[in-house]
Amino acid sequence: MRIGFIGLGIMGSRMAKNLIKAGYPLNVYNRTKLKAEKLEGAHLHIMESPAQVAAESDVIITMLSTPEVVQEVALGEDGLVNGMSKGKVWIDCSTVNPSFSVQMAELAEQLGFNFLDAPVAGSLAPAENRELVFLVGGKKTIVKYVMPLFKIMGKKTIHVGDAGQGSALKLVNNLVMGLSFYAFTEGLVLGESLGIDKNQIFDLMEGSPVAAQMIMLKKNKLLNGEFSPEFPLQWLQKDLHLAAQTAYEQGATLPGTNNVKEIFALAKQAGLAEKDFSAIYQFLSKKA
């Protein structure tokens, strides 16, 4: 099985490395070629376009930032669909809105290839340590066919349902993560304003039923004021926006999500876009 990988950012580069370590021939493409050149492997081939990746691969994995970028990589000049043919599989691991994934699945069916939406739960460290959770939408037979790849890059695969359902569950996951972490950050800011040491707040939260695991995973960043990106703030804001957009499409109501996504947007405008999303603490505590 020849694997193509497009998108070598924080997540994609680590996922690709694990496929290389497992011995798979890998055809890669990244808009910034330098990122591709940083990868090493005996059977690594750097391609000049997404179309070339698709033409010379059996399974193509994309891990990109936004639906707009995915669309450009797939449908633009020298886009990957130009290299697709019957029997090939496109796995989109990008976090996008479900309606977009459904559109891509319909396009794939029209053109005769296979499509899975397979966004992941997990950030930098899980990607590096093969601990990602794949949330997959698409045909069960295709999921089974590519399962060995999911097992190399992650610890668990959840086949959610038809095309778009993987993307749907990912937005639910990131909505809950973003809002719960934001709520804790407001509590942290209030506690500090009242003279409570941050360590005491973490001691209270550790193991508490009111606290999410994410809070403890970000403990050191918040205590040390060090916000190197594991999951950049701008992408969490994007995911909250996609959740709000999807709610509009479905006739659902998400007032809290809409408020919090705009606060993250303000933090992005304040220069925190490329920092870890836990830097929302910097913004709220006026330390940005």
pLDDT tens figures, 177-200: 999 999 999 999 999 999 999 999
Task: Count up the domains in the chain and report the number.
Answer: 2
> Residues 185, 87: one domain?
no
Segment (H or E) for 149: helix 140-153
Same domain for 267 and 192: yes
Question: What is the residue whose two structure tokens read 């019957």?
Answer: 86
The token pair that represents 118 in the structure block: 């397979």
Q: Given 33, 35, 151, 170, which residue is catalytic?
A: 170
3-class DSSP string for 94-109: CCCCHHHHHHHHHHHH
What global pTM score does this model have?
0.94
Domain range for 208: 168-284
The CATH number given to whatever domain includes residue 204 is 1.10.1040.10
Instruction: Confirm if 15 and 39 have CB atoms less than 8 A apart.
Output: no
Residue 63 near residue 5, CB atoms below 8 Å: yes
Phi/psi of residue 91, nearest 5 degrees: -110, 115
Inter-residue contact 232 to 10 (CB < 8 Å): yes
Does residue 203 contact residue 237 with C-beta atoms inside 8 Å?
no
Domain final position from 161, 192, 225: 161
**Residues 66/43, Cβ–Cβ less than 8 Å:** no
Q: How confident is the model over 128-173, as pLDDT tens digits?
A: 999 999 999 999 999 999 999 999 999 999 999 999 999 999 999 9
Same-domain status, 177 and 271: yes
Q: Which helix (H) or strand (E) holds 51?
A: helix 50-55
Q: State whether 243 and 145 are in the same domain.
A: no
Domain ends where: 129, 161, 193? 161
Query: Could you tell me the CATH number of the domain that includes residue 57?
Result: 3.40.50.720
pLDDT given for residue 211 in this prediction: 81
Tens of pLDDT, residues 242-275: 999 999 999 999 999 999 999 999 999 999 999 9
Q: What is the mean pLDDT of residues 235-242?
A: 98
Residue corresponding to tokens 């033409």? 55
- Residue 170 annotated as catalytic: yes
